[in-house]
Amino acid sequence: MSTPNGWDKSAVSAIALELKDQPGALLLILRRLQDEIGYIPEQSVPVIADVLNLTRAEVHGVVTFYHDFRHHPPGRHVIRLCRAESCQAMGAVALARHIKGRLGIDFGQTTADGKFTLDPVYCLGNCACSPAMTVDDEIYGRVSAESFDGALASLEGRRQ
């Protein structure tokens, strides 16, 4: 459903219209947009507000409250590294330094070639296999600098 600029008004309105009668519809709509488009295009805010009979401010307020909702398209692969206590106890701080150095970006940034976005996450529920990360839908446990490099190499080797 993505167009060259990732924004398709009719698709957004179709989702909003489909879900508008569900209890608590706004979060369902935003969740679906995030999952399908990869971010919440700014232009979708008035469309959703119109369908739900809310103000733009109300919709904007919800979009900006939740960490999952992106305001811009992410890189082709999203790496989420856990920063929470259990992972810290197993070296997540040094691992974060390694990953940032390797990708040349900080948390919340995307590499210049648009390949990778690095996000912090506060617990993946994989604390017994710390440190943990996800790359797209894949979860990784007991991540080391070496195993990260291996995962990265296999992603870079893949045609995307």
Partner 1 sequence: MTATLYVPRDSGALSLGAERVARAIAQEAARRKIDVAVVRNGSRGLYWLEPMVEAATARGRVAYGPVRPEAVPALFDAGFVEGHPHPLCLGPTEEIPYLKSQERLTFARVGVVDPISLDDYIAHGGYEGLQRAAAMSAAQIVEEVVESGLRGRGGAGFPCGIKLRTAMLTGSDQKYVVCNADEGDSGTFADRMIMEGDPFVLIEGMTIAAICAGATQGYIYLRSEYPHAARTLAEAIAAARARGYLGANVLATGKHFELEVRVGAGSYICGEETAMLESLEGRRGMVRYKPPVPAISGLFGKPTVINNVLTLASMPIILTQGGAFYKNYGVGRSRGTQPIQLAGNVRRPGLIEKAFGVTLRDIVYEYGGGTASGRPVRAVQVGGPLGAYFPESMLDVALDYEELAARNGLLGHGGVVVFDDTVNMAEMARYAMEFCAQESCGKCTPCRIGSTRGVEVIDRIIARQDQSGNLALLRDLCDTMTNASLCALGGLTPLPVLSALKYFPRDFGLGDDAVSGLH
By the criterion CB under 8 A, which residues form the site for partner 1?
Answer: 23-28, 30-31, 34, 61-62, 65-69, 82, 84-90, 121-130, 132, 137, 139-142
Please provide the DSSP assignment of 93-127 as one string.
HHHHHHHHHHHT--TTEE-TTS-EEEEEES--S-G
At closest approach, how far in Å is the CB of 113 from partner 1?
A: 26
Helix or strand or coil: residue 80? Answer: strand
Instruction: Give me the least distance between CB of 130 and partner 1, in Å please.
Output: 6
Which CB atom, from 87 or from 103, has the smaller least distance to partner 1? 87
Return the number of the residue (11 or 28) whose C-beta is nearest partner 1.
28
Whose tokens are 């197993």? That residue is 90
Copy the structure tokens of residue 32: 């679906």
Residue whose CB is less far from partner 1, 104 or 107 = 107
Question: What amino acid is encoded at 104 in this protein?
Answer: G
Question: From the CB of 112, what's the least distance to partner 1, in Å?
Answer: 26
